[in-house]
Structure 1
Amino acid sequence: MRLGKMLSSYAIAALVSSSLFAAGGATHWGYTGHEAPQNWGELSPEYSTCKNGRSQSPINISKDGVVVTNGLENIEFNYKTDAVGIVNNGHTIQVDVKEGSSIKIDGTVFNLKQFHFHTPSENMIEGKSFPLELHFVHASKDAELAVVALMFEEGKENEILRKIWDKMPHSANAKAGCGLQSSMINEILPKDKSYFRFNGSLTTPPCSEGVRWFVLKNYATLSKEQIKEFFDVFGHENNRPTQPLNARKVMK
Structure 2
Amino acid sequence: MFTIEERDSIRDRLLALAEADSAIIGAAVTGSQAVDGGDRWSDIDLVFGVDGPLEATMRRWTDLLHHDFAAIHHWDLPASSAVYRVFLLPSGLEVDLAFGPAAEFGPNGPSWRTVFGHPAPRADAPSPSRRELTGRAWHHALHARVCIRRHRWWQAEQWISALRGEILALACLRLGHPTAYAKGAHLLPADVTTPLTATLVHALNQAELTRALSAATSSLLAELTLVDQTLAARLAPVLTD
TM-score, normalization by structure 1: 0.25
| Larger Cα-atom Rg | 2
Greater relative contact order: 1 or 2 (C-alpha under 8 angstroms, separation 6 or more)?
A: 1
TM-score, normalization by structure 2: 0.26
Q: Which has a greater percent of strand?
A: 1
Q: Which has a greater percent of helix?
A: 2
